[in-house]
Amino acid sequence: MSTGTLIWLTGLSGAGKTTITQALAPRLTALGHKVEILDGDAVRETLSKGLGFSKEDRDTNIKRIGFVANLLAKHGITVLVSAISPYRDARREVLLEAAKNGVKALEVFVDAPLDVVSARDVKGLYKKAIAGEIKHFTGVSDPYEAPLEPDVHIRTDQKTLEQSVDAILERL
Ligand code: ADP
């Protein structure tokens, strides 16, 4: 069986990771890929239930997602991960593991400025974070370490959803 692919979408809450993943998955399926999605919000309800938002817990969360993603990708699945994953080192570890397994991995930076994502406020969380009602909120009161050399860099405030999906497909 041929090895799969890992597509890791990182970026601030509301940047567009889930939206892009949902649009990308059927396009890949149509191309013959077997696709699985690991979405950060769903993972925190299951695999990582109980973890918080300290650096240690965030790193544990990413290690768990990375572990599962790599297991799947090793066996021919195209895995789409949508997770804020704010720390560079944690992301690098997962991507290195993929390389060790011969898995093709893409780091996709889903990028929009803080004023744009907080104006979108898809989940109503920025308002609360800015008011101090939510602590450790990435981009407001917790760090986000942007990828230095992402394989794909998408400015979702400048591109349409279709252009964003195409930018990833072009790199595969
Ligand atoms: P995240 O998963 O990163 O937290 P979401 O996908 O939940 O973000 O929300 C992103 C929001 O931005 C959605 O309301 C989406 O419609 C909007 N949006 C605007 N332009 C784009 C784009 N080019 N790609 C993805 N989402 C976009």
With helix as H, strand as E and coil as C, how does 103-172 read? CEEEEEEEECCHHHHHHHCCCCHHHHHHCCCCCCCECCCECCCCCCCCCEEEECCCCCHHHHHHHHHHHC
Task: Indicate whether 150 pLDDT > 80.
Answer: yes
Listed residue (131, 44, 25, 135) closest to 84, CA to CA: 44
Listed residue (93, 120, 105, 102) closest to 12, CA to CA: 120
Distance, in Å, from the CA atom of 21 to the CA atom of 168, rounded to the nearest integer, reads 10
Cα 105 to averaged position of ligand 1 atoms, centre (Å)? 22
Task: Indicate whether 169 pLDDT > 90.
Answer: yes
Atom of ligand 1 nearest to the CA of 39: 2
- Pocket test of ligand 1: the residue of 122, 137, 157, 163 to mutate, having most ligand atoms within 8 Å of its CB, is 122
pTM of the model: 0.96
pLDDT digits (tens, 9 = 90+) for 44-62: 999 999 999 999 999 999 9
Cα 21 to averaged position of ligand 1 atoms, centre (Å)? 10
**Averaged pLDDT for residues 8-26:** 98
| CB 8 within 8 Å of CB 20 | no
Task: Indicate whether 141 pLDDT > 90.
Answer: yes
**For atom 18 of ligand 1, which residue has the closest CA?**
16
**Averaged pLDDT for residues 21-43:** 97
Based on its alpha-carbon atoms, the radius of gyration of the chain, rounded to whole angstroms, reads 15
Would you state the pLDDT for residue 2? 79
Distance, in Å, from the CA atom of 82 to the CA atom of 79, rounded to the nearest integer, reads 10
User: Can you state the percent helix, strand and coil of the chain, rounding each to 5?
Assistant: 45, 15, 40
Would you state the pLDDT for residue 1? 53
**Averaged pLDDT for residues 56-72:** 98
- Pocket test of ligand 1: the residue of 19, 115, 126, 144 to mutate, having most ligand atoms within 8 Å of its CB, is 19
Angle between helices 161-171 and 17-30 (to 10 degrees): 60
Ligand 1: lining residues by beta carbon, under 6 Å: 11, 13-20, 82, 110, 120, 122, 156, 159-161, 164
| CB 58 within 8 Å of CB 83 | no
Which residues are identified as catalytic? 85
Would you state the pLDDT for residue 3? 87
Would you state the pLDDT for residue 96? 97
Cα 71 to averaged position of ligand 1 atoms, centre (Å)? 28
Cα 152 to averaged position of ligand 1 atoms, centre (Å)? 16
**Averaged pLDDT for residues 67-87:** 97
